[in-house]
Chain A
Amino acid sequence: MNDRGLVQGAGGLAAFLLLWEAVVRSGSATFDYLPAPSAILAALGRLAAGGAFWGEIGHTLLATLLGWAIAVLIGVVAGLALGLSPWLRRYSLASIEALRPLPGVAFAPVGLLAFGFSLQMELAVIVLPTLWPVLVNTMGGISALSPRLGEVARSFRLGRFEATMKVYAPAAAASVLVGLRLSMSLAVVMAVIAEMVGNPQGLGYAVVREQQALRPAEMFGYVFVIGLIGILMNWALMAFARRALPGEFGRPLAMDAGVR
C-alpha cells in the first residue's frame, strides 16, 4: 500500500471510529452493550495498568507460537517428503484429504478429555488444523518446482539429502512461506478457540469472561488486542523471512496479493 493509500485507509478508519462514537453518544444505538470507542480505550488503559492483562497476552502468544512451531516442523518435513516422493504421495494423499476438513474446533472436547485444563489441551487443538496449510503448501511448492533444478542438482552429482537442502527446499521457500503465514493466523484463531471453549487462560478466556460479566468495554478491548496480535505475528514472520533468505525475499514480491 503506497503512502497515499495509507493516508486514505487511515482516514476511513478514523471516520468509522468517529461515526461509532457519535452513534453511541447520541443514544440512537439499539444495542444495550455497545460501548463507544472512547470507553474501549479507557478500558484498555485500565487493563494495561493491571498485571493480569500482560500475563494473558503472554499465555496466548506462548500457546500460539508453540503450537505453530510444532505444526511447522511436522508440516515442512511431511511436505518435503510427500513433495519429493510420488510413491509416498500416492499412498497418503487420500488420508490427508479425508482428515483435512475436520474442523479444529471439534478437537477441543477431545483435548479437554485427554489433557484437562492445560496448555497441552490448547496445543492439541492448535497443531492439527494448523499443520495442513504448511504441509499442503510445502508439498505444492516442491511439486511445482521446475524440473530444471532437479537436472542441475543431478548434473553436479549432488546426493539426495544435499539436493533437498541446497536446491529443493530453498526453491520452494516462497510457497512454504505462504503456508507459514496461513498457519500462523490459523494458530492464533485456534489458540483463541481453545481458550474460549476449554482452557480458562489467556485472551480467549478473557473475552468470554468479560462477556459473561457484562463488561462490554473490556470485552471489546480484548477483541481489539486479539486482532492486533494476529497482525503483529504476521508482520514478525515476514520480517524474519526477509532476514533469513534475503536472496529470495529481499526483492519486491507480490507476496501480499493473496486474499484469504
Chain B
Amino acid sequence: MKRAGMHFPPLRGLAPLLAGLATWQFLSSGPAPNFPPPAAWWRTVAQLASNGQLAPAVMETLWTFALGLALAASFGFVAGLAIGTVRAVRRWSALLLEYFRALPPPVIVPVAVLMLGYAPSMKVFVIVFASVWPVLLNVVSSVSRVGGGLVDMGRSLRLTRGEVLFKLLIPAVVPGLLLGIRVATPLAMVITLLIEMLTAMPGLGGLLIAGQRNFNSAQVFGMLVVVGLLGLAVNLLVNVAEAIVLRRWPPRGLAPE
C-alpha cells in the first residue's frame, strides 16, 4: 500500500514540460519583450542571487510562511478539539465557520492592513487567519466523526478525562489534523506571497512585483520558477513529515477524504 507523498510519478513524465521549455528557448531567437526565453530567466535569477537580493527574500518569505503555518496549525488544532468535543458549541458555530471557510482568503489582506497597519505582525496574523480554517474544520470534523465512540469506550474503561483526551482523542484526530495542514500549506504560501505583492513588504512577492513594475519580464518568469520550486520543496517536506508521523496509522487511500 502506497504511503501518501512518498512517491513521485515516473520521471519520464517530465518530458512534456522540458520539451515545452526547450521549444520556447528555441523559438525565442529575436527580442520578445513579454516572453523571454528560459535562458534569460536563469541569468536574471543568478544575477539576483549574486547581488544578494535573492537569499534574504527567500528567507523572509519562508520564515513568515512557516511561522504563520505553525501558528495556524496549533491554533486550529486546539480550537478544533475544543469546538469538536462540545456538541453545543459545534452546532452554534457551524454557520459562522461555514461562512468563514467560504470567504476567499485574499480578501482578508486589505482588512488586516487597514486594522493592523504595515507591521510584520500583520503579515503573520493574516496568514494565520486565512490558513486556520482547513485545519480547524478538519479537526472538528475528525472529532465529531470518531469522538463519540472513543469517549464512550474511555468511560467504559474508567479512564479520566485527561486520559481520554491525550490517549484516545488526540491520536485519533492526528490524521485529520495532518490533512488540514496539507490543505493549509499551499494556502499559507499563496497568502504570504500575496501580502508581499500587495504591500511591497520584503520577500519573494516583492521581487515578483518589482519585476513587473520594471517591465523586467525575465525577472518575473525567473521568480515564478523560484516560487514554484519553493512550493514544490515545501510540499515535499510536508508530505515526508506526514509520512513519518503517520507511520503507525493505517494507510490512507490515495485520495484525501
Contact assessment for A196 and B198 in the assembled complex, using a CB-CB cutoff below 8 Å? yes
Q: Can you name 14 extra interface pairs (CB under 8 A) apart from A94-B9, A140-B254?
A: A5-B94, A12-B92, A16-B96, A33-B114, A91-B13, A94-B17, A95-B16, A103-B186, A105-B193, A106-B228, A109-B197, A189-B105, A230-B103, A259-B141
Residues of chain B within 8 A of A237, CB atoms compared: none
Residues of A in contact, count (CB < 8 Å): 66
Measured CB to CB, the nearest residue on chain B to A188 is B104
Residues of chain A within 8 A of B98, CB atoms compared: 9
Type the 1/0 row for B12-39, where 1 means its CB is closer than 8 Å to any CB of A: 1111110000000000000000110000
Contact assessment for B17 and A102 in the assembled complex, using a CB-CB cutoff below 8 Å? no
Contact assessment for A98 and B17 in the assembled complex, using a CB-CB cutoff below 8 Å? yes
21 A-B residue pairs with Cβ-Cβ distance under 8 Å, sorted by A, are A1-B94, A9-B94, A11-B92, A15-B92, A31-B116, A94-B12, A95-B13, A101-B235, A104-B190, A109-B224, A110-B212, A113-B220, A114-B34, A188-B104, A192-B104, A193-B106, A193-B194, A208-B198, A214-B114, A227-B104, A227-B107
The answer, yes or no, to whether A71 is at the interface (CB within 8 Å) is no
Contact assessment for B227 and A223 in the assembled complex, using a CB-CB cutoff below 8 Å? no
Residue in A105, A230, A234 with the greatest tally of chain B CB atoms within 10 Å = A105
Type the 1/0 row for B131-166, where 1 means its CB is closer than 8 Å to any CB of A: 000100110010000000000000000000000000
Residues of B in contact, count (CB < 8 Å): 68
CB distance from B239 to the nearest CB of A (A): 11
Residues of chain A within 8 A of B141, CB atoms compared: 259
Query: Known: A93-B10, A259-B134. Contact between A101 and B231, CB under 8 A?
Result: yes
Contact assessment for A113 and B215 in the assembled complex, using a CB-CB cutoff below 8 Å? yes
Interface positions of B from 36 to 57, Cβ below 8 Å from A? none
Query: Known: A33-B114, A103-B227, A113-B34. Contact between A12 and B13, CB under 8 A?
Result: no
Residues of chain B within 8 A of A33, CB atoms compared: 114-115
Residues of chain A within 8 A of B231, CB atoms compared: 101-103
CB distance from B17 to the nearest CB of A (A): 4
Residues of chain A within 8 A of B208, CB atoms compared: 106, 109
The answer, yes or no, to whether A42 is at the interface (CB within 8 Å) is no
Interface positions of B from 92 to 141, Cβ below 8 Å from A? 92-96, 98-99, 101-111, 113-116, 134, 137-138, 141
CB distance from B87 to the nearest CB of A (A): 10
Contact assessment for B104 and A9 in the assembled complex, using a CB-CB cutoff below 8 Å? no
- How long is the Cα–Cα vector from A92 to B217 in the complex, in angstroms? 27
Contact assessment for B197 and A90 in the assembled complex, using a CB-CB cutoff below 8 Å? no
Contact assessment for A95 and B94 in the assembled complex, using a CB-CB cutoff below 8 Å? no
Type the 1/0 row for B212-233, where 1 means its CB is closer than 8 Å to any CB of A: 1001010011011001100110
CB distance from A254 to the nearest CB of B (A): 11
CB distance from A98 to the nearest CB of B (A): 6
Measured CB to CB, the nearest residue on chain A to B9 is A93
The answer, yes or no, to whether A251 is at the interface (CB within 8 Å) is no
Interface positions of B from 200 to 257, Cβ below 8 Å from A? 205, 208-209, 211-212, 215, 217, 220-221, 223-224, 227-228, 231-232, 234-235, 254-255, 257
- How long is the Cα–Cα vector from A108 to B190 in the complex, in angstroms? 12
Contact assessment for A95 and B15 in the assembled complex, using a CB-CB cutoff below 8 Å? yes
Q: Which residues of B contact A (CB under 8 A)?
A: 8-17, 34-35, 91-96, 98-99, 101-111, 113-116, 134, 137-138, 141, 180, 183, 186, 189-190, 193-194, 197-198, 205, 208-209, 211-212, 215, 217, 220-221, 223-224, 227-228, 231-232, 234-235, 254-255, 257
Query: Contacting A189 at CB < 8 Å: which of B91, B92, B106?
Result: B106
Contact assessment for B13 and A230 in the assembled complex, using a CB-CB cutoff below 8 Å? no
Residue in A92, A110, A185, A223 with the greatest tally of chain B CB atoms within 10 Å = A110
The answer, yes or no, to whether A226 is at the interface (CB within 8 Å) is yes
Contact assessment for A259 and B8 in the assembled complex, using a CB-CB cutoff below 8 Å? no
Measured CB to CB, the nearest residue on chain A to B142 is A259
Contact assessment for A219 and B114 in the assembled complex, using a CB-CB cutoff below 8 Å? yes
Query: Known: A103-B227, A193-B194. Contact between A226 and B111, CB under 8 A?
Result: no
- How long is the Cα–Cα vector from A226 to B104 in the complex, in angstroms? 7
Residue in A101, A185, A188, A207 with the greatest tally of chain B CB atoms within 10 Å = A101
